[in-house]
Amino acid sequence: MGTRGGSRWGAGRPGWRQKAENCRSVDVRRFAAENMLRPGLWSWSWRDAETKEVVASITVMGGEEHMALSYRVGEESFRAEVPIMKTACNYGGDRPWFSCPHCRRRVAKLYLKAKHFACRHCHRLNYASQAADPCGRTWRKQNRLQARLDPNWQRPKHMHLATYNRLIEAILACEQERDALIAEALGRLMLGLDALRVRFPNL
């Protein structure tokens, strides 16, 4: 009997995808900021978001063209060889990237899932925002915008007026988009009710 989902690496339940935010990850930008993209042996830790306590760690053998990640999952030990790629920046210098150990895709982050580090695409991970409905996405965007303002949409003391006006316009655009989505949903609901009345006039 065939296996559901085929033989794709990392394939799982077709109707549901784990969220990237729920997986441990390594970010080449963070490694660069910590000066770990050079020969040397480093330790990288993940901390609990609330308690700040270390919950897991890995050993990183740094290098300019590749690095090695050594870690344990349960009683098993693993080692992942990760190539480092670089692209030129418009204003000089270069930007580092991970090359996914499985598909060689150029990515900024690798995620640990099923005992292996790979990119979001190989692990078939979605972002939490991708799972939200359209109204939910407008709320998420509006909340991010409002977080830059003082309470009751007041302008922070050192914010330029032009920046403040752009934020207010973006917030109002979120509200208008949400109103349009709600109106559209109500319209579909009314059409459905009208169709039911036609089919069942005694309702």
Task: Name the domain boundary from 66, 93, 118.
Answer: 118
Spatial contact of 74 and 115, defined as CB atoms under 8 Å apart: no
**What is the C-alpha separation between 191 and 175, in angstroms, rounded?**
24
Residues 109 and 160 occupy one common structural domain? no
Residue 50: what pLDDT?
66
Q: Which positions ≥6 away from 133 have C-beta within 8 Å?
A: none
How far lies 199's CA from each of 49, 187, 189, 191, 202, in Å? 55, 19, 16, 13, 9
Task: Name the domain boundary from 67, 83, 118.
Answer: 118
Residues 77 and 114 occupy one common structural domain? yes
Residues 32 and 95 occupy one common structural domain? yes
How far lies 196's CA from each of 102, 157, 190, in Å? 52, 56, 10
Q: Report if residue 71 sits inside a domain.
A: yes
Q: Report if residue 48 sits inside a domain.
A: yes
Task: Name the domain boundary from 87, 118, 149.
Answer: 118
Residues 41 and 77 occupy one common structural domain? yes
C-alpha closest to that of 113 among 13, 44, 47, 23:
23
Q: How many CB atoms lie within 10 A of CB 80?
A: 19
Tell me the pLDDT of the chain (203 aa) as tens digits: 333 333 344 444 434 455 555 678 889 999 999 999 999 999 988 887 667 788 888 999 988 888 999 998 888 899 999 999 999 887 778 899 999 999 999 999 898 888 889 988 888 877 655 445 777 778 888 888 988 888 888 999 889 999 999 999 999 998 998 888 888 878 877 777 767 676 767 65
Q: Report if residue 99 sits inside a domain.
A: yes
Residues 152 and 181 occupy one common structural domain? yes
Spatial contact of 120 and 21, defined as CB atoms under 8 Å apart: no
Q: Report if residue 107 sits inside a domain.
A: yes
Spatial contact of 103 and 122, defined as CB atoms under 8 Å apart: yes
Q: Report if residue 127 sits inside a domain.
A: no
How far lies 143's CA from each of 12, 125, 147, 159, 181, in Å? 33, 24, 6, 18, 18
Residues 144 and 68 occupy one common structural domain? no
Residue 167: what pLDDT?
92
Q: Report if residue 10 sits inside a domain.
A: no
SS3 for 62-79 is ECCCEEEEEEEECCEEEE
Residues 137 and 52 occupy one common structural domain? no
Residue 39: what pLDDT?
92
Residue 13: what pLDDT?
40
Residue 171: what pLDDT?
92
Q: Report if residue 125 sits inside a domain.
A: no
Note down the domain range covering 180.
132-194
Residue 196: what pLDDT?
67
Spatial contact of 122 and 112, defined as CB atoms under 8 Å apart: no
Residues 80 and 156 occupy one common structural domain? no
pTM of whole model > 0.85? no
Q: Report if residue 126 sits inside a domain.
A: no
Domain count, the chain: 2
Residues 24 and 114 occupy one common structural domain? yes
Q: Which positions ≥6 away from 53 have C-beta within 8 Å?
A: 47
C-alpha closest to that of 42 among 33, 31, 52:
31
Residue 97: what pLDDT?
94
* 95, β-bridge pairs: 87
